[in-house]
Structure 1
């Protein structure tokens, strides 16, 4: 049997397989179509029967009720789906806003740290310059002193190497030594 519109003039006339009679009744107990002979038989003796049209109407009402109930449930679930989508969208928006805020704050902190780093490095370079100037001045004095000492050593070595004792004594006694 296919699904379709209910059209009484085109309703099929089914026959009972056992008695070859037209199926006119619906056994509510067994939930099946039966003929009048089946209804009188032992198998359906104490069962409840209705005409097919009445049973069809009863079940159509039940199906309509189920359809309406399911339609309401569908509407409720669609509303829940929409609310959930809105919540997801809200969470995503909050998350993106928070990420942007954090990125911006960290960029500010990076800028502050970079400026502080540059100032600190500049201070260290300035202090290094002062210290090195003082040390280089001291080094120049030390090198100048070494130069004089080397000259004096050279002169003394020449006196020591003097072969002529008279010249040596004359120069040494004459106070030419520094």
Structure 2
């Protein structure tokens, strides 16, 4: 029985009068009462004194709080001997009393003991049910606003999807049009290439053979003229007598008159020819010359 009384007294001495729980960082006021540091700090919320003791109401001009290590050890001992039991839902953890009100300034649930402690004297305290109704109204208002925003977002999303689908369809149509047009252009280019190549081939067959024939004929004429030039250059190197004899023999020799006659009658055979209709050079046969020479002996 005595042990039980001692244990009970230990619990009472180690309990804060404000939070009704074991002391946490206990401090002593000028009047000698002990409180948790955080509890007395919240209780003395005003910036200026005097400050009243929550237990005896004695006034103190300043916040003179001294740490009390002895009480701290006693609270630790009581906490080990009698650990606090789990707090049921809806019960104040500090005072083990039902939560009945709400502090709007600190956003905390309070029991009757919390209100009596003086910690919330200057705060806005409302009954639990009224505070819940106010909060519910605010939440419903916020919910309606969010639902409206969600509806707008869904509408915008649907519109964006529709626009995206239209753009994709338009892009695909344009892509197909581009492919069709370029295929048509490729066919036109292939056909034009075939037509131009065929025309070039026809022109080649039409123009090239006559040109090649003219080249061959001009080559023969050039060879004949080269031989005649060589022969005349040789005669120019003869002495005067020899040159005249050779020339007279050539001009009065047998067949000269006939050659002259043939040259007069057929200018395109043995005589010196004039320009052809085709633009070729005149032909001069070897051994026949009807003009005069101007050579040095």
Q: TM-score, normalised by structure 1?
A: 0.68
Match of 1:14 among 91, 103, 111: 91
Distance 1:34 1:69 in 2: 31
SS at match of 2:90: coil
Match of 2:174 among 89, 92, 98: 98
Q: TM-score, normalised by structure 2?
A: 0.43
Distance 1:27 1:138 in 2: 122
SS at match of 1:44: coil
Q: Are 1:24 and 1:33, in contact at CA under 8 Å, matched by a contact in 2?
A: yes
Q: Which residue number corresponds to residue 154 of structure 1?
A: none
RMSD: 3.5
SS at match of 1:24: strand
Does 1:133 pair with 2:184? no
Q: Which residue number corresponds to residue 85 of structure 1?
A: 161
Match of 2:111 among 16, 32, 35: 35
Distance 1:122 1:60 in 2: 91
Distance 2:134 2:197 in 1: 92
Q: Deviations over 1:99-131 (max 9, x none)?
A: 111221122222222221111111111111112
Query: Which structure 1 segments of 5+ residues have no match?
Result: 1-10, 149-172
Q: Are 1:16 and 1:35, in contact at CA under 8 Å, matched by a contact in 2?
A: no
Deviation at 1:16, TM superposition (A): 3.9
Q: How many residues align?
A: 159
Match of 1:75 among 128, 151, 155: 151
Structure showing the higher helix proportion among its residues: 1
Distance 2:101 2:176 in 1: 73
Q: Report the more deviating stretch, 65-74 or 122-131.
A: 65-74
Distance 1:65 1:127 in 2: 92
Query: Which structure 2 segments of 5+ residues have no match?
Result: 1-87, 225-252, 256-286, 289-297
Deviation at 1:20, TM superposition (A): 2.2
Distance 1:137 1:46 in 2: 128
Deviation at 1:142, TM superposition (A): 6.4
Q: Which has the higher contact order (CA 8 A, sep 6+)?
A: 2
Match of 2:189 among 97, 113, 133: 113
Deviating above 2 A after TM superposition, structure 1's stretches of 4 or more consecutive aligned residues are: 135-146
